[in-house]
Amino acid sequence: MSTTTPPITPPSSPHSPSSSGGGGGEVNYINATKGIKSWMFTVDHKRIGLMYMVGVMSAYGLGGLFAILLRSELWNPEPSFIGGAEAGTTEAMNNAWDFYNQAFTLHGAVMVFLFIIPAIPAILGNMVLPIMLGAKDVAFPRLNLLSFYFWVLGGLFFVWVLSKGIINSFYPGMIEIWGPGGLETGWTFYTPYSTTTQNSAVVAATFGAFILGFSSILTGLNFIATVHMLRPKGMGWFQLPLFLWALYATAIIQILATPVLAITLLLLIAEKTLGVGIFNPALGGDAVLYQHFFWFYSHPAVYIMILPALGIISEVVSVHSRKSIFGYKFIAISSLAIAFLGFLVWGHHMFTSGQSALTNAVFSLITFFVAVPSAIKTFNWIATMYKGDIRITTPFIYILFTIGLFTIGGLTGLFLGCLSTDIHFHDTYFVVAHFHYVMMGSTLFAFLAGVYHWFPKMFGKMYNVFWSNLGGIIAFIGFQLAFFIQFIAGSQGMPRRYASYPEHFEFYHQVSTVGAYTMGAGMIIVLLTWIVALRTGKKAPANPWGGNTLEWHTTSPPPTANFHAEPTAEEPYDYSGWKYVSPEEGWVQRTPEEREAARQQLGTGH
Amino acid sequence: MHVLSTLAQIGSGNLGMPPQASTYAADIDWTYAFTFWSCTVAFVIIMVAMIWFIWKYRHRPGYVQQGAPAHSTSLELFWSIIPTIIFLVIFYYGFTGFVDMATVPDYAYEIRVKSRKWSWDFVYPNGAVSSHLVVPKDTPVRLVLSSDDVIHSLFIPAFRTKKDVVPGRFNWTWFQAIANAPIRTEGVSADDKLLDKELGLDYFDLYCTEYCGTNHSMMRARVYVREPSVFQEWVTKQADILGTMPPAEGGKYLYTAKGCKQCHTVDGGAGNGPTWKDMFGYKQPLVGGGSVLADENYIRESILNPGAKLHEGYSNIMSSMQGNITEDEITAIIEYMKTLSDKGPKPMEAWPDAAETPAAAVE
């Protein structure tokens, strides 16, 4: 339970949210206490969520900057952008390629460890999970703050590695003093490259990832305990909002898989610093063993990244279609099925590594089974829209993009699960395109949809719909430009992680680079709409979308204790109790008679 | 032009895949096409349904929402089972195709592939070595792969062949080439034309596809498909390639063929290793102080045991060439380095035994 005292507010009934609103004279979690200490030592899950938001979005900006840099370098086959000035000399070329290798490594590492994994659970999960449960906070509020500081500490290791690299490139003399900086192993840290490279930053970076793992584990632990212990009376497992099912399944993966990554990275550090032979054949180790350990975590980690996104799709599709989610149980159970099967497919990253044909066949088969629950979810979302009363709002538009990108990402995964075609596509741009569609396209757009969905609740402000939609549309077009053509480049055989490439791939790369710039422009618009909304946005109503999960039953933004009076469990996707009044008032509760009438009218369809 | 050729490639029969130059390529492309069209149909169904529903059931004045069931077990089973069946069919074709790729014919011609940062050596049964892969047409070829340092991966898009090259173990793969590559006209520098005056410009690309450091993207080679008789002629000659040219010229050939070029320049330019320009006969500063005269023995030692006397300003990243280089080849490189140094003695004009022959004839 929360250790902070709920602020004393006039007891407004949770069932008359029209009487309340954000800002103004209302006391809410943002203005309840003031001063930097009230944030740094807060145990309020909402404030922790906001602090994560600042940190994680900064990491996203950094990762995005690297993406722009590396796409610029790939504009033409020769070193073109960095260090290419003294063109032609071996030194200039090596510098350019080292720079490119560091840029793609840090792009990947920052995006995976600091952005995608924490984005939805740590920001939106922290923000709404306890409120959706009608709880005052997560089960272990102090642990929640600790996991935030673990995230910060882990992030600092990456900032350190990065700054060393930048400073070294300006003052090469510093290399003599503190060794090389930057990181050029790829975010996967494959051995024996990572343990034999002269670059000492490998230890700092892997240790950073190790610490970030603890942040992830503690958040997962907290969410599991919260979902188990703090559900309100009357909320059985099958009244749990689907976003929470998704976060719950994610949390299970986090606490089961992340320790394996921690062990693997420790073994890597042991080999690198103590010379213990584990992965390096020259020391008697096995190079492929590392890949098994690494993917035993990192494949489930793919589902840590995507499952929360799928949860957001389920929420947003249902609320904005004004219709109960279709096939609730199938969606809920498919989250658990994905979490379970996700542990059994790691070998599909190693079809070309020389593992036995039988092993390959088994992993390929299980990989196809993990595709089934994803297909089920997609069909259920479409069926939810059938006979809905669809409001084409900003979150809904972003969710349509998400569904489109997830469908392409999921379907192209079939080419990679399929043994004979994967041999050709493995480690080409086809794979790059595929995982960007799934991890970046789907997760990022779902995250943005989630932010736009809960923005009024989080900040009590509304945003400019036109610019928010425009930013999303530009980012979506940029994304398609940047990545769709990479499927074609990949099928032509363009290998990934190439600083330089044969000339006949130039066209694909230039289209892709234009797409990356376009997407960057769209993302800047999106971020600006948030900032402008925070400063000058209109006051948000308590329930701008007519959602029925419990966070819409409290004020926007909520008080520190989340509710003014203890809420009771609701059927999360029954919208008959709400009617739309006006943009300022949002949706308000119907009287029981009105609600009965609405049910009667909808009941005719049965 | 690029746009047109790209569209032409995508529109051509094999959906953007490279030319089919191996026996199993067609089967893989068939599986690819089957999966592609299944996915396209699924994608169109999903998108059309989604957009249609959004249009038809959009909120608008006068629209009254009708009720609809929140679940339907039979419908949900239907769209669980149908995709599962399609997935299993794709798995089946992928699996059978893979079994073909994994089963080497007994009588395959064997080529050893040695790799290191950042070059390939292809070693043929008669001892011939080349830095580009030359294979006989219509003959099963088994590649036995090994790495001296980190993981590499051998990828020939036209053959649909890929296999990681893992240090500490042998991996293998096989293919049977059925077509030669078209002659390149674009994307070939003047340098390349000179290098391949004998092999020509009709080659397929071979890439390293496992990230291996600075010059990973330059760890490329060429694949030449030759009629078996032409191949036999080439491989016989290649086995004694040094014997066909003076030692210094042979050293120049090895400079490229052995991958020395990846790190050492011959014009004084910087690289990952010291330049060979004006190295022979000069004192070289060493890491940790002191210096050593770059004579025949220092160069020999540095090739076989690169870390023994490390040149100042460079790190110990070169793999030992022990086992990958013969005494004659070391001699040839030394002779070549002599030609690059103003302090170098005049290099041998011919191999010692060849030089003795005229003398013997005089006797």
Measured CA to CA, the distance from residue A149 to residue A55 in angstroms comes to 11
Q: Which of A91, A365, A392 sits opposite B270 (nearest CB)?
A: A91
Residue listed under structure tokens 């490998």? A202
Task: List Cα–Cα distances, A559 to A76, A457, A537, A569, in angstroms.
Answer: 54, 11, 19, 19
C-alpha A84/C-alpha A69 separation (Å) is 14
Q: What CA–CA distance (Å, rounded) separates B289 from A211?
A: 41
Rounded to the nearest angstrom, the minimum Cα separation between B97 and chain A is: 5
Q: B87 to chain A: which residues are within 8 Å by CB? A: 368-369, 371-372, 414
What pLDDT does residue A17 have? 42
**Tokens linked to A175:** 């290399």
Burial class (CB in 10 A: 0-12, 13-18, 19+), A84: middle
Residue in B309, B330, B325, B320 with CA at minimum distance from that of residue B148: B320
With an 8 Å Cβ cutoff, is B307 touching chain A? Answer: no
Nearest to A90 by CA among A497, A498, A500: A500
Chain B residue with minimal CA distance to A503?
B187
pLDDT at A9 over 80: no
Average the pLDDT over each of A345-354, A382-391, B276-285 and give the range with the smallest value: B276-285
8 Å CB contact between A250 and A121:
yes
Cα(A65)–Cα(A520) distance, rounded to whole angstroms? 9
Q: Compute, in degrees rounded to 10, the torsion defined by CA atoms B271, B276, B277, B283.
A: 110
Contact B15 A491 (CB under 8 A): yes
Chain B interface disruption, residue of A95, A185, A193, A405, most B CBs within 10 A:
A193
DSSP state of A233: T
Beta carbons of B165 and B151 less than 8 angstroms apart: yes
Residues 6+ apart with CB under 8 A from A368: A414, A417, B87, B88, B90, B91
CB A313 within 8 A of CB A399: yes
Return the number of CB contacts < 8 Å for A and B.
Answer: 299
Mean pLDDT, chain A, integer = 89
pLDDT value at A410 more than 60: yes
Query: In 3D, which of A22, A26, A54, A29 has the Cα closest to residue A44?
Result: A29
Q: Give the minimum alpha-carbon distance from A98 to chain B in angstroms, rounded to a whole number.
A: 5
**Chain segment A570-600, per-residue pLDDT in tens:** 889 999 899 999 988 999 999 999 888 888 8
- Cβ distance A328 to B70 less than 8 Å, yes or no, reads yes
Q: Are the beta carbons of B118 and B262 closer than 8 angstroms? A: yes
Position A181 scores a pLDDT of: 73
3-state DSSP of A379-399 = HHHHHHHCCCCECCCHHHHHH
A513 touches chain B (CB under 8 A): no
Q: B149 and A196: CB-CB below 8 Å?
A: yes
Task: Give the helix/strand (H/E) hosting A589.
Answer: strand A586-589
B-facing residues of A in 338-367 (CB < 8 A) are: 352-354, 357, 360-361, 364-365
Partners of B142 in beta bridges: B110, B174
Return the structure tokens found at A505: 């791939």
Best residue in B24, B47, B90 for a mutation probing chain A (most A CBs within 10 Å): B90
Tokens of A213: 């793992």
Res B191: pLDDT: 59
- A104: closest chain B residue by CA: B211
Cβ of A189: how many Cβ atoms within 10 Å?
23
Which alpha helices (H) appear in A393-547, and where do they start and end? 394-417, 419-425, 429-435, 443-459, 465-491, 506-536
For the residues of A103-131, what is the DSSP string, one character each?
Answer: HHHHHHHIIIIIIIHHIIIIIIIHHHHHH
Q: Which residues of B touch A101 (CB under 8 A)?
A: 211, 213-214, 216
Residue A288 tokens, joined: 């492929």
CB atoms within 10 A of CB B289: 7
B307-359 pLDDT, tens digit each: 888 888 888 878 888 877 888 888 889 989 888 888 878 878 777 765 444 44
| Chain B residues within 8 A of A401 when measuring between CB atoms | none
Rounded to 5, what percent of chain A is helix, strand, coil?
A: 70, 0, 30
The residue written with tokens 């993981």 in the block is: B151
As a whole number of angstroms, the distance between CA A451 and CA A470 comes to: 16
Edge to edge, what strands does the sheet with B140-147 contain? B129-130, B119-123, B109-116, B140-147, B171-176
Tokens 């930097």, located at residue: A36
Considering CB atoms only, which of B63, B162, B214 is closest to A94?
A: B214
Q: What are phi and psi of B154, to 5 degrees?
A: -100, 125
B49 three-state secondary structure: helix
Q: Rounded to whole angstroms, how far apart are CA atoms A314 and A333?
A: 13
The dihedral formed by the CA atoms of B126, B140, A505 and A401, expressed in degrees to the nearest 10: -140
- Which tokens hold the place of A100? 């490119």
Residue pair B186/B95 in contact by the 8 Å Cβ criterion? no
Closest-CA residue to A211 (of A252, A142, A152, A290): A152
Give the three-class secondary structure for B155: strand
Residue A175: what pLDDT?
74
* B98 contact residues in A (CB cutoff 8 A): 357, 360-361, 364, 419-420, 423
Rounded Cα gap, residues A115 and A122, in angstroms = 10
Q: Residues of B numbered 338-357 whose beta carbons fall under 8 angstroms of chain A's beta carbons: which are they? A: none
Distance CA A209, CA A109 (A): 9
Structure tokens, B73: 């077990």
Buried/exposed A373-382: b ≥16 CB within 10 Å, e otherwise:
bbbbbbbbbb
**Cβ contact A485:A512 at 8 Å:** yes
Among partner residues B28, B88, B163, which is closest to A420 by beta-carbon distance?
Answer: B28
How far apart CA A523 and CA B324 sit, in angstroms, is 52
Q: What per-residue confidence (pLDDT) applies to A80?
A: 67
Tokens, residue B135: 């294979």
- Write down the pLDDT at residue B13: 56
The pLDDT of residue A22 is above 50: no
Which of A328, A386, A414 is opposite residue B68, by nearest beta carbon? A386
Q: Is the pLDDT of residue A123 over 70?
A: yes
Give the one of B166, B272, B315 whose C-beta lies nearest to A287's C-beta. B166
Lowest-pLDDT range, A76-90, A393-407, B340-354? A76-90
Strands of the sheet with B152-156, listed across from one edge: B133-136, B220-226, B204-208, B152-156, B161-165
- Whether the per-residue pLDDT at A83 is higher than 70: the answer is no
The domain spans of chain A are 541-606
Q: Is the peptide bond before A121 cis (omega within 30 degrees of 0)?
A: no
Which value, in Å, is the radius of gyration of the alpha carbons in chain A?
Answer: 25
Q: Which of A326, A378, A422 sits opposite B46 (nearest CB)?
A: A378
Hey, what CATH class is B243-362 in?
mainly alpha
Q: Please tell me the number of Cα atoms within 13 Å of A357 on its side-chain side.
A: 14
A223-233 residue pLDDT tens: 999 999 999 88
CB A414 within 8 A of CB B39: yes
Interface test with A, best of B46, B100, B118, B315 (most A CBs within 10 A): B46
- B109-239 CATH, one of 3.40.140.10, 3.30.420.80, 2.60.40.420, 1.10.10.10: 2.60.40.420
Segment 226-265 of chain B within 8 Å of chain A by CB: 265
Residues near A543 by beta carbon (within 8 Å), at least 6 away in sequence: A17, A552, A553, A556, A578, A586, A587, A588
- pLDDT at site A82: 57
Mean pLDDT of A285-306: 92
d(CA B60, CA B71): 26
Cα(A207)–Cα(A205) distance, integer angstroms: 5
For residue B176 the two structure tokens come to 């049977």
Local structure of residue A348 (DSSP, 8 states): G
Residues 106-165 of A with CB under 8 A from B: none
Chain A touched by B64 (CB under 8 Å): yes
Look at residue B135 and give its three-state secondary structure. strand
Handedness of CA A31, A32, A34, A38 (dihedral sign): negative
Question: Under a CB-based contact definition with an 8 Å cutoff, are residues B340 and B280 in contact?
Answer: yes
CB distance from B157 to chain A under 8 Å? yes
Of B67, B166, B265, Cβ closest to residue A353: B166
Confidence at residue A343, expressed as pLDDT on a 0 to 100 scale: 93
Report chain A residues whose CB lies below 8 A from the CB of B75.
383
- Residue A233 tokens read as 């009376």
Higher per-residue confidence, A176 vs A357: A357
User: How many whole angstroms separate alpha carbon A433 and alpha carbon A512?
Assistant: 10
pLDDT tier for residue A21 given thresholds of 50, 70 and 90? very low
Q: Would you state the pLDDT for residue B187?
A: 66
pLDDT mean over A119-138: 94
Of residues A93 and B168, more confidence is placed in: B168
List, for chain B, all residue ranges whose pLDDT scores fall below the cut of 50: 1, 355-363
